[in-house]
Amino acid sequence: MDKKDENVKTKHPQLLYESKLHRILQGGTGIPNVRWFGVKGNYNVLVMDFRKLSLKTVLMLADHMLVEATKAQFSCDYSDHLALVRVYEG
């Protein structure tokens, strides 16, 4: 099971809309079944089956995350290098 929640006081609540959309699309390929939607305490809660991702999707996501992490690391290294150059330039 997968659980999503949001504070009932959120400015732009999305879970009610998401639960309705999931119920309409339920049974379609890759669409998880909604088990329950309601309010629990101060939270809107959506409970659904885990999403079943294909191996291809998982590998594409992993590749994307690695590319982004590499970009972030390069950006940090490059920024540090520029900071050192500025120090030496004086």
51-73 tens-digit pLDDT: 666 777 778 888 888 887 776 65
Between CA 27 and CA 1, with CA 33 as vertex, the angle to 5 degrees is 145
How many CB atoms sit inside 10 A of residue 82's CB? 10
Quick: pLDDT tens for 9-41. Answer: 999 999 999 899 888 888 877 778 899 999 999
CATH code for the structural domain at 2-48:
3.30.200.20
Report in angstroms the alpha-carbon separations of 62 from 37, 68, 76: 30, 10, 21
Q: Is residue 40 a contact partner of residue 8, using CB atoms and an 8 Å limit?
A: no
85 has pLDDT over 50: no
What are the residue ranges spanned by the domains of the chain? Answer: 2-48, 53-90
Check: pTM over 0.75? Answer yes or no: no
